């Protein structure tokens, strides 16, 4: 059985005292094993990052930028190769995997502008003969803990900004689809990144805890579920680290009566069922304003999902692939059965769809009559299940969204500019789409939610990542002139 090992200081590493199974979700086949790091192996990776830090921090900004320009070229050149790796271990269709890589490349392009991004400020003559300037300097060794659903994009969200700022990184990807992270580390090094600047360790809670507890790790970035995000934030911050921990989501798509209902139905199907719903920005709640709107939308969505082609991600005809594991598939299916038991109406039951495969496939489900308090509404399902909540007014829709404990993304579909603008003002959610169902910001803006969708003060990638991965130092200077200095024991003032 092939073994996926750690990548430390530019080399494969790890004794593989413990291993985990990596499956092909489309077939259920146990395709390889992955080494699960011991605390000692994580410490080895952290030591490699610490040893590489002084030289990388001292590397000129133009030289650093060159690495990102070359990396961008390599990622584009090997997009198909990377997409195939993602599909083989995650299961998403190849076009979706390629799209993930494209969005990751945006962050590399942003990081390539590091000469501009790391500029400080300068004020001349704040007092007689006194100047003040600020510097941005790296925080040190950074821990990056990434989820299974975007094994290329999310690591690039973290590593590009962290490395551009002069830090070194220990990346702990999901053990469910680990190969993409190792491939990324090799591409970085092929682009000219010195060995040890980016290290990859695979593992479970043992590896995560070693990163969180190490005194040599100064900052931690995480994307995953809300319970784990909260736990990581508490443990890492208690250990004196900077933390950005992005949690779960329950993204609502509000559809007003004046919306283009055909366009809204298309958007709902794409946003709810793309990547089998395994996206933190997937639309999982369709909020229909008015029963007439709801009835029309449900009919249009049900009609569109009838012909949805579900199959292996490697099949060009497939529009949706399997879920990541058998256990997760069964858990998602249980929400559909539970919704009916709680009084909702299952309009389309994807759990009843038969597949001639041992893979982890599940059909799409559409559930009407959903209300807060039902598990199908309250929980982050992370699968191809779309819940419909009926409300009578715009105000009721806003109240529903703002009352939810998650606040990652939301969208409104309307033809009325005034309604859209008011929604932007009223809604208490981190990312908002207007006639855009999945409002993931482009690389020049930052990604992140509010409430239980984010623990810490900084969103990920974009401008906020530069703040997160650097510390600001302010220098106040006076150079002696020809007049003799005078002693003054008073408090300094700027006059």
pLDDT for residue 356: 77
483 lies in a domain? no
Helices assigned H by DSSP within 114-190:
114-117, 153-164, 179-190
- Residue 481, pLDDT score: 76
Asked if residue 386 is part of any domain, the answer here is yes
User: Do both 35 and 170 map to the same domain?
Assistant: yes
Whose tokens are 């998602």? That residue is 332
422 three-class SS: helix
443 lies in some domain = no
Residues 59 and 85 in one domain: yes
Sequence-separated contacts (24+) of 307-313 with Cβ below 8 Å: 308/269, 308/273, 308/364, 310/353, 310/355, 310/361, 310/363, 310/364, 311/26, 311/361, 312/26, 312/27, 312/357, 312/359, 313/26, 313/87, 313/90, 313/91, 313/92, 313/93, 313/94, 313/96, 313/97
Answer whether residue 371 is part of any domain: yes
Q: Point out the residues of the chain with pLDDT beneath 70.
A: 482-486, 492-495
Specify if 448 maps to a domain: no
Is the domain of 285 the same as that of 334? Answer: yes
Encode 375-407: b = buried (16+ Cβ within 10 Å), e = exposed.
ebbeebbbbbbbbbbbbeebeebbebbbebebb
Model confidence over 86-123: pLDDT tens digits? Answer: 999 999 999 999 999 999 999 999 999 999 999 999 99
Asked whether residue 320 is assigned to any structural domain, the reply reads yes
**Structure tokens belonging to residue 322:** 């399997």
DSSP 74-134: HHHHTHHHHHHHHHHHH---HHHHHHHHHHHHHHHHHHTTHHHHT---EEEEEETTEEEEE
Q: Are residues 331 and 421 in the same domain?
A: yes
Say yes or no: 102 and 206 in one domain. Answer: yes
Q: Would you give the distance in Å from CA 13 to the centre of its chain?
A: 27
Length of the chain: 495
Query: Do 325 and 358 lie in a common domain?
Result: yes
Same domain, 231 and 283: no
Domain that holds residue 430: 251-434
> What are the percentages of helix, strand and coil residues in the chain, rounded to 5?
40, 25, 35
Task: Specify whether 239 is located in the same domain as 257.
Answer: no
Q: Phi and psi of 215, rounded to 5°?
A: -70, -15
The per-residue pLDDT for 68 is: 98
Contact 187, 163 (CB under 8 A): no
Beta partners for residue 343, in sequence order: none
In whole angstroms, what is the distance from residue 81 CA to residue 118 CA?
33
* Residue 457 maps to a domain: yes
Residue 100 maps to a domain: yes
Q: Is the same domain home to 213 and 300?
A: no
- Which residues have a catalytic role annotated? 280
Q: What pLDDT sits at residue 158?
A: 97
**At 417, phi and psi to the nearest 5?**
-65, -35
Can you list the alpha helix ranges (DSSP code H) found in 324-461?
326-341, 375-378, 394-403, 417-426
d(CA 245, CA 453): 8
367 with 469, same domain: the answer is no
Contact of 72 with 408, CB cutoff 8 Å: no
Query: Pairing relation of β-strands 29-36 and 122-127?
Result: unpaired
Both 124 and 230 in one domain: the answer is: yes
Please choose, from the candidates 164, 236, 248, 225, the residue with its C-alpha nearest in 3D space to the C-alpha of residue 198.
164
H or E segment at 5? none
Tokens 């259920």 found at: 28
CATH of residue 375: 3.40.309.10
Residue 307: the pLDDT is 87
Residue 111 C-beta-side C-alpha neighbours within 13 Å: 31
Examine the domain organization and report whether 259 and 356 are in the same domain. yes
Quote the pLDDT of residue 480.
84
d(CA 86, CA 26): 12
Look up the CATH number of the domain holding residue 91. 3.40.605.10
> What CA–CA distance (Å, rounded) separates 7 from 196?
9
Site of tokens 């319970």: 227
> How many structural domains are present in the chain?
2
């Amino acid at each position: 059985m092939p073994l996926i090992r750690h990548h430390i200081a530019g080399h494969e590493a790890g004794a593989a005292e413990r291993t985990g199974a990596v499956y092909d979700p489309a077939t259920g086949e146990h395709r390889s094993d992955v080494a699960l790091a011991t605390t000692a192996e994580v410490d080895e990776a952290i030591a490699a990052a610490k040893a590489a830090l002084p030289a990388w921090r001292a590397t000129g900004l133009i030289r650093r930028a060159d690495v990102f320009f070359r990396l961008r070229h390599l990622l584009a050149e090997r997009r198909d190769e990377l997409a195939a790796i993602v599909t083989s271990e995650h299961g998403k269709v190849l076009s979706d995997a390629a799209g993930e890589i494209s969005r990751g490349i945006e962050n590399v392009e942003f990081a390539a502008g590091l000469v501009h991004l790391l500029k400080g400020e300068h004020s001349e003559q704040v007092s007689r003969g006194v100047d003040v300037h600020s510097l941005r300097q790296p925080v040190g060794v950074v821990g990056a803990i990434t989820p299974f659903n975007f094994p290329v994009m999310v690591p690039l969200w973290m590593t590009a900004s962290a490395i551009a700022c002069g830090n070194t990184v220990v990346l702990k990807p999901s053990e469910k689809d680990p190969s993409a992270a190792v491939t990324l580390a090799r591409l970085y090094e092929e682009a000219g990144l010195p060995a040890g600047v980016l290290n990859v360790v695979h593992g479970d809670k043992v590896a995560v805890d070693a990163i969180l507890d190490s005194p040599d790790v100064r900052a931690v970035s995480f994307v995953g579920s809300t319970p784990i995000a909260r736990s990581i934030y508490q443990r890492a911050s208690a250990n004196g680290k900077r933390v950005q921990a992005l949690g779960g989501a329950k993204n609502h798509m509000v559809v007003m009566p004046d919306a283009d209902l055909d366009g809204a139905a298309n958007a709902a199907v794409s946003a709810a069922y793309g990547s089998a719903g395994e996206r933190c920005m997937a639309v999982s709640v369709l909020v229909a304003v008015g029963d007439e709107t709801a009835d029309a939308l449900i009919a249009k969505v049900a009609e569109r999902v009838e012909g949805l082609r579900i199959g292996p991600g490697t099949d060009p005809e497939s529009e949706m692939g399997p879920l990541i594991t058998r256990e997760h598939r069964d858990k998602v299916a249980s929400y559909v059965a539970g919704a009916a038991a709680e009084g909702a109406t299952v309009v389309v039951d994807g759990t009843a769809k038969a597949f001639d495969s041992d893979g982890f496939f599940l059909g799409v489900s559409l559930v009407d009559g959903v209300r807060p308090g039902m598990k199908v509404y309250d929980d982050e399902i992370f699968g191809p299940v779309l819940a419909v909540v009926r409300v009578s007014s715009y105000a009721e829709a806003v109240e529903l969204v703002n009352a939810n404990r998650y606040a990652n993304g939301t969208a409104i579909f309307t033809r009325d500019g005034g309604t859209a603008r008011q929604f932007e003002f009223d809604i208490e959610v981190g990312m908002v789409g207007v006639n855009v169902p999945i409002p993931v910001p482009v690389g020049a803006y930052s990604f992140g939610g509010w409430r239980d969708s984010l623990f810490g003060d900084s969103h990920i990638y974009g401008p906020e990542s530069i703040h997160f991965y650097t510390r600001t130092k302010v220098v106040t200077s006076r150079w002696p002139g020809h007049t003799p200095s005078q002693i003054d024991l008073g408090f300094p003032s700027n006059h």
